Chains A and B, each alone.
Chain A
Amino acid sequence: MKRRFALGALLFFCFVFPSQGGGFDTARHKMVEEVLDDANATASYSGISALDPGVIAAMEKVERHRFVPGALAAFAYLNRPLPIGHGQTISQPFIVALMTDLIKVKAGDRVLEIGTGSGYQAAVLAEIAGSVYSIEIIEPLGTQAGERLRSLGYRNVQTRVGDGYYGWPEAAPLDAIIVTAAASHVPPPLIRQLKPGGRMVIPLGTQFMTQYLMLVEKQQDGSLTSRQILPVRFVPLTGEH
């Protein structure tokens, strides 16, 4: 009887309330599971034994297929970076989750992102933080991402097109900063805008390949410490596992 009821309920939901993103929901859930596996595998390097539930919930919620070019929507939930035009990419979901976790965003936090790109990372941050400020250097990308985030109802995200070097002084001091745009150095103004106790994460590498993540922590006395995190479980010597 119970089984019949369950089947009936399933058919009811499938046919009476056909969910537009039904296939995407399943795919997204599967993607999050892969991300969790990756995070577990790299725990000894990242110092994160398990992803924060808030990050997991955000990854489950944000519809990545809305942030990739239409033609690539079918690949949106693969755990891989995808091209978004203008020589830029939407990061690999695992890297997005790891970076979000590393900066330990809490409700109410003010977070700055340099390099809006598609807006996906900003959306994930917006699910957790109080306010997100995001700056994009490439005009069409920044405009598009701003409109996208607005249309998806992210009221706590402010976007801007322009130079990210001087950060967002009006929003300082900031609890966390993510610098996803490649930079030859960490702009001193960004470090100044980071709150004591604040965290900054920077992925290093190229489009399609993140080589390592740099996590900068500002201590209460204003001094800095940094960690370089290999986002993969890999021992460089054979016979050492």
Chain B
Amino acid sequence: MPRPPFIAIGLLSASVLAYEVLLTRLFSIVLWHHFAYMIISAAMLGYGASGTALALLKEKIIPHFGAVYVAAAAALALLMPSAFLLAQQVPFNPLELLWDNTQPAKLLAVYLLMMLPFFCGGFGIGLVFARFGKQAARIYACDILGAGLGSLGVIGVLFLVQPQQVLSALTALALLAAAIAVVELKLRPKWLMELFVALAVLAAVALPDIKVHPSAYKDLSQALNIAGARVIEECSSPLGQIAVVENTRVPLRHAPGMSLNATSEPPPQLGVFVDGDGPSALTKFDGNFAPLSYLGQLTSALPYHLLMRPSVLVLGAGPGSDVLQALYHGSAAVDAVELDSNMTGLVRQRFRDYSGKLFEQPGVQVYEAEARGFVNSSDQRYDLIQVALLDSFGTASAGLYGLSENYLYTVEALQAYLDRLAPGGMLAVTRWLTLPPRDALKLFATAVAALENNGVPNPSSRLAMIRGWKTVTLLVKNGDFTASEIAALKKFSHARSFDLAYYPGMKADEANRYNLLAQPYFFDGATALLGPQRQDFIDRYKFYIEPATDDRPHFFRFFKWNAAAEIFSLREQGGMSLFDWSYPLLVATLVQALAASALLILAPLALSRCRRTLPSAPVALYFLAIGFAFMFMEIAFIQKFVLFLAHPLYAVAVVLCAFLVFAAAGSWLAGNWQAANKVTIAVTAMGAISLAYLAALPYLFQALIHLPDAARIIISVMLIAPLATCMGVPFPTGMARLAGASGDSIPWAWAINGFASVVGAVLATLLAIHLGFAAVILLAVLIYAVACVALTGFAR
């Protein structure tokens, strides 16, 4: 009896999981939003469909196990780069989703292509389980060990090489898995092993030329279309791919929303793009402040006209524009926080002279840290905290951030910033202007909530907001605005033709004077949000401007169902930009996840001989419920841990890995645990842990967020461990119960669970946006409870 290919299965599993994480990175570069939920759903579809295929073909395939297994590994190797390359050839353009009715089909094509490698990986792994069922525990251990190493290892590798090179490395890894399988399974001919090794070497050496083609509508693509543009520096990490663009023929001149009254032009600049979005400006500086006068012509310059020589904290240093602005206005000291060390490295090293040693200027201190973590751990108090405007206008105005979590603009975040202000200090947040107002009013509502939560009895005396033609700046003061500050605010705005949107005591006729709108939307909105009719205003507003919280950190979600029909009907009458495209994209993904999983996972069984072994209602309900609940938990925790782990990619990798490893431990436990009601015990424990986490995690995150990456990763894994262990119990227990009976409906149990996982990944994202993570987690607990009830119906 041959041994299972333990090493090969570990390698195969590592390649598949690493690929899943890598895809979220690649999709950020090619398109906009991190498509994590769609990729997880595509991966689940691949696994689910492979389970169905195995159930149907098992008897025919098992006699040729070795050959089929090696073929699956080889197909995985082939498909990892080719499915991605083919997906890039699909002219899917999210911006055209509502203009062009062929776009949903193109989205489906991308989804199905991305599913293929996971199908092969799932097929290979499932085949080993089918062939060596009795050694399932050891196979499972290798599988999960590989998966865990793959999903975390790829993060480490992404620090060293470009994502497209990782794609080549994973191809090589899968080919190596095929080669090792040939040895482990003692397959003939022996030269197969040499062939796969040679191919693996070839893949590692030759494939680095894989080209990633970002969408033509991304900012970087647009910048590079301009005559004379060239990328002069590139660096990459899991946090993003940075490109520095120089154009000597058509210089970059980045002065977002500069006053129309300004007569000066920005000095020479380099464009800095992150994952093709941007640009942020790296401005040439030689110690002479005269050419920087444009920095005083932006709405973000307002606080410097109200504060004398402030000590400043810049959140989001980027390539240094806000630091430069602070120095230009004579700030006494500037602390700046930047998450990506590649970004600070560029300013400190490669462009040290170009930037005039900006980050080494007297009084300037730059920290490589996550903004929330830095603020929570710092004892320092500042006269001014500037939240930099680093996202691109195009991306924000097209509603491209609608699905992403952003923990910089939540009520809790603003509370934390306010806590770090010196008496009389100010928090300044600048956003792109949207019409009718969205960001600005949501930010205003968030600030009001933050002040109230901090116990300020009269928030209206601490807020001020101005708007230019392209940007809006909100000030929140630690104290009441004084008459002289208000006079300075008016003088600043008048000189630059910026409009007053709100200040304490503002009269209606002072609004809407320079950049005329049909209605004084900003003033009306701000006063309504400070008045007793606030909730009524928020409810009646056709965009979602309820304050963002750490539980619902989708600051850029403005979509409301009750306005959707009207906005949709206006799309061709100039109203296209009223629609957040990211939201319809999510709904489209959900519809296609439903259709594809029904078609590829359930339908083949229904059409085969398995239709005679349809599961009973409790069995179907049980596997449906635990599939949904597992995905709800996993997705909610990924998004919740984005705050703690500082970046979505870290969260995907760490949470995915922890769930896999400890769910496997739970499965093992279930196999060795004789209690009759072990599912109920596990679900009860999981429910208790979940409730405890809901209550304690915000405080825990706040207390520990300043720790180094490695410590936060370990803590995250430890937090997820008990939860995932409990969640690992129901599936194998249910399977064992089925196997104990006739076992005929096992393929159905797999399929139904797969179906729920595919749909659940997308549905969880949708529900989190509407209800918040806490609700999704509670819902998952409830669904698990339903599963417990369903399990009691198994025997009948």
Contacts and interface: CB of A to CB of B under 8 A. Distances in A.
Contacts of A212: 435
Contact of A227 (B253, B262, B515, B562): B515
B494 to A, nearest CB: 12
B466 to A, nearest CB: 15
Interface in A11-39: 34, 37-38
Interface in B578-619: 578
B516 A226 contact: yes
B258 A184 contact: yes
A236 B227 contact: no
A238 interface: yes
A219 interface: no
B222 A209 contact: no
Interface string A83-105: 10011100010110010000000
A216 B573 contact: no
Interface stretch (B538-546, B741-749, B767-775, B779-787): B538-546
Interface in A55-107: 79-81, 83, 86-88, 92, 94-95, 98
Contact of A94 (B227, B261, B537, B573): B573
A184 B253 contact: yes
Nearest to A229: B518
A226 B261 contact: no
Interface stretch (A41-49, A121-129, A145-153): A41-49
B216 A95 contact: no
Contact of B573 (A44, A209, A227, A233): A233
Interface in B429-456: 434-437
Contacts of B249: 162-163
A68 B394 CA distance: 23
A93 to B, nearest CB: 10
Interface residues of A, number: 60
A121 B780 CA distance: 54
Contacts of B262: 185, 188
A162 B227 contact: yes
A236 B255 contact: no
A87 B537 CA distance: 39
Counting chain B residues whose Cβ lies within 8 A of the other chain, the interface size class is 35 or more
A79 B541 contact: no
Interface string B551-568: 000000000001100110
A198 interface: no
A185 B570 contact: no
B714 interface: no
A75 to B, nearest CB: 9
A62 to B, nearest CB: 20
Nearest to B539: A238
A207 B95 contact: yes
Interface in A174-216: 182, 184-189, 191, 204-212, 214, 216
A207 to B, nearest CB: 5
A94 B518 CA distance: 19
A172 interface: no
Max chain B CB contacts within 10 Å: which of A79, A137, A214, A234?
A234
A186 B469 CA distance: 10
Interface string B474-497: 000000000000000000000001
Contacts of A187: 253, 265
Contacts of A139: 227
Nearest to A42: B574
A237 interface: yes
Given A163-B249, A210-B574, A228 B517 contact: yes
A230 interface: yes
A119 interface: no
A232 interface: yes
A87 B221 contact: yes
Contacts of B264: 188
Contacts of B263: 188
A54 interface: no
Interface string A161-177: 11101000000000000
B577 interface: yes
A234 to B, nearest CB: 6
A138 interface: yes
Nearest to A191: B260
A161 B227 contact: yes
Interface string A214-227: 10100000001111
Contact of A234 (B394, B562, B570): B570
A238 B515 contact: no
Contact of B435 (A98, A165, A228, A237): A228
B575 A232 contact: yes
Contact of A224 (B99, B260, B470, B563): B260
A53 interface: no
A196 to B, nearest CB: 15
B256 A184 contact: yes
B516 A225 contact: yes
B394 A238 contact: no
B515 A226 contact: yes
A185 B434 contact: no
Contacts of A83: 93, 96
A43 to B, nearest CB: 11
A33 to B, nearest CB: 13
A112 to B, nearest CB: 17
B231 interface: no
Interface in B237-261: 249-251, 253-258, 260-261
Max chain A CB contacts within 10 Å: which of B93, B218, B253?
B253
Nearest to B572: A79
Contacts of A165: 250, 253, 265
Contacts of B736: none
A206 B398 contact: yes
Contact of B260 (A34, A44, A80, A186): A186
A210 B575 CA distance: 8
Given A87-B222, A162-B250, A237-B540, A210 B577 contact: yes
B518 A182 contact: no
B88 to A, nearest CB: 15
Contacts of B562: 238
A186 B245 CA distance: 21
Contacts of A138: 225-227
A9 B318 CA distance: 70
A209 B576 contact: yes
Given A209-B397, A216-B260, A38 B518 contact: no
Given A184-B256, A228-B516, A233 B540 contact: no
B354 interface: no
Contacts of B755: none
A205 B399 CA distance: 10
A140 to B, nearest CB: 9
Contacts of B257: 184-185
Contacts of B99: 80-81, 208
A15 B560 CA distance: 54
B521 interface: yes
A203 B540 CA distance: 28
B159 interface: no
Contacts of A224: 260-261, 497
A234 B575 contact: yes
Nearest to A185: B258
Given A80-B572, A87-B217, A184-B258, 12 more contacts: A41-B573, A87-B215, A95-B574, A165-B250, A184-B257, A208-B398, A230-B435, A232-B570, A233-B573, A234-B567, A234-B578, A238-B541
Lowest 9 A-B CB distances belong to which pairs?
A231-B574, A87-B216, A185-B258, A232-B575, A232-B574, A236-B436, A209-B577, A211-B577, A163-B250
18 contacts: A34-B572, A38-B573, A44-B518, A87-B222, A162-B250, A165-B265, A184-B255, A186-B258, A206-B394, A208-B217, A210-B574, A226-B497, A227-B517, A232-B575, A233-B573, A234-B566, A236-B543, A237-B537
Interface of A: 34, 37-38, 41-42, 44-45, 79-81, 83, 86-88, 92, 94-95, 98, 137-139, 161-163, 165, 182, 184-189, 191, 204-212, 214, 216, 224-239
